[in-house]
Amino acid sequence: MALNRKLAFGVSGCAAVVVAGVAVFATLSLWREPVRPPTAPASQIIELPPVAAVPQVAAPVALPAEPPAWRRFAVPTPVTDLPLVVIVIDDMGVDRHRSLRAAALPAPLTLSYLPYAEHVAVDAAAARARGHELLLHLPMEPVSRSEDPGPHALFTGGSTDDLLQRLDWNLARFDGYVGANNHMGSRFTADRAAMTPVLNRIAARGLMWLDSRTTGATVAPAVAAAQSVPLATRDVFLDHDPSAANVAAQLHLLEAIARRKGIAVAIGHPRDATLSALEQWLPQLAAKGLVLAPLTAAVNYGDFGG
Ligand SMILES: [Zn+2]
């Protein structure tokens, strides 16, 4: 036991001496460092590159401008020489059952969601994931005082600040849309002083405008042209008369306009007769020599209808 302790002392005593020696040597080395000449041959001395050769952080380069929203969120236009038909379904999102039935139709439809619909962000995103193009269905003042365009609607006659605040509330409710069209709005879209700040903001957001033509007095095409807003125009309403016979007749009219002009735009609603008619009609398009296209195809095509 005593021997072990002595051995242990001996080992630790030696270690202490070695540590102390290393410490003294290191201290002397440090002290001598400033005056010690280089000991390595000149060829082995690593020279730092001159400052000018150090790789420099690249100067900021202007990135190509991001495409405007109406192109960024567009569904690709089919490449074909066949006539194109565009089906826009307005008033999406409030009647959720029928809206989901519309979104289940073959894509690409163009689905225009009411911003105040409770589940609009979720439902619009799901529809876009199914291959549909999205629009924002902007509530606007109708001529008839008995019709209610809904909460946060745009009205004529107020201040521009109030108008733009209402517009911004609507624009912020969901995303992924290529543009907007009017819900009701027969009075608002005929009012140049009201439409100008709205389409100015639409232009600033890189969005397109679909003129639903709920009034023949619409100023939207003229104001959109002045603000360089990409524009499309509705050719046919499918279901103002929601009977099955009328919807069928309107689809027939849409086909005729598409064959004559190369592209035609219809607007319908998530109503039973309309949805049933589209469930039958859409699978027959190929046999008719027609191709379903998103609304942005009507802008790309350069034919604004009318
Ligand atoms: Zn509407």
User: What residue spans define the domains of the chain?
Assistant: 69-300
Read off the pLDDT of each residue in 184-193 and give the average, rounded to a whole number.
95
Phi and psi at residue 272, to the nearest 5°: -55, -45
* pLDDT at res. 255: 98
Cα of 47 vs centre of ligand 1, distance in Å, is: 75
Rounded distance between C-alpha atoms, residue 45 and residue 223, angstroms: 74
Cα of 33 vs centre of ligand 1, distance in Å, is: 85
Rounded distance between C-alpha atoms, residue 83 and residue 85, angstroms: 7
Which DSSP symbol is given to 299? H
Cα of 91 vs centre of ligand 1, distance in Å, is: 5
* pLDDT at res. 51: 54
* pLDDT at res. 138: 97
Examine residue 108 and say whether the peptide bond preceding it is cis (omega within 30 degrees of 0). Answer: yes
Read off the pLDDT of each residue in 38-64 and give the average, rounded to a whole number.
57
Cα of 128 vs centre of ligand 1, distance in Å, is: 19
Examine residue 78 and say whether the peptide bond preceding it is cis (omega within 30 degrees of 0). Answer: no
Cα of 261 vs centre of ligand 1, distance in Å, is: 26
Read off the pLDDT of each residue in 148-156 and give the average, rounded to a whole number.
96
Look at residues 107, 126, 74 and name the one whose alpha carbon lies nearest to residue 278: 107
Residue 132 has pLDDT above 50, yes or no: yes
Cα of 223 vs centre of ligand 1, distance in Å, is: 21
Which DSSP symbol is given to 115? T
Instruction: Report yes or no: 225 and 200 within 8 Å, Cβ to Cβ.
Output: no
Cα of 11 vs centre of ligand 1, distance in Å, is: 94
Cα of 153 vs centre of ligand 1, distance in Å, is: 12
Cα of 268 vs centre of ligand 1, distance in Å, is: 9
Phi and psi at residue 178, to the nearest 5°: -90, -15
- pLDDT digits 0-9 by tens, 224-278: 999 999 999 999 999 999 999 999 999 999 999 999 999 999 999 999 999 999 9
Q: Max alpha carbon distance in the chain (Å)?
A: 115
Buried b (16+ CB within 10 A) or exposed e, 266-293: bbbbbbebbbebbeebbeebeeeebbbb
User: Which stretches does DSSP call E strand in 10-106?
Assistant: 84-92
Which DSSP symbol is given to 155? -
Cα of 75 vs centre of ligand 1, distance in Å, is: 22
* pLDDT at res. 45: 52
Cα of 288 vs centre of ligand 1, distance in Å, is: 29
Banded model confidence at residue 220, pLDDT cuts 50, 70, 90: very high
Cα of 30 vs centre of ligand 1, distance in Å, is: 84
Rounded distance between C-alpha atoms, residue 301 and residue 147, angstroms: 35
Read off the pLDDT of each residue in 131-154 and give the average, rounded to a whole number.
96
Please identify every residue whose CB atom is under 5 Å from ligand 1, which is an ion. 90-91, 183
Q: At a CB cut-off of 8 Å and minimum separation 6, what does 85 contact?
A: 254, 255, 258, 263, 264, 266, 285, 290, 291, 292, 293
Instruction: Report yes or no: 66 and 72 within 8 Å, Cβ to Cβ.
Output: yes
Superfamily of segment(s) 69-300: Glycoside hydrolase/deacetylase (3.20.20.370)
Residue 7 has pLDDT above 50, yes or no: no
Cα of 252 vs centre of ligand 1, distance in Å, is: 22
Cα of 185 vs centre of ligand 1, distance in Å, is: 9
Asked whether the whole model's pTM tops 0.85, one would answer no
Cα of 60 vs centre of ligand 1, distance in Å, is: 46
Banded model confidence at residue 44, pLDDT cuts 50, 70, 90: low
* pLDDT at res. 216: 85
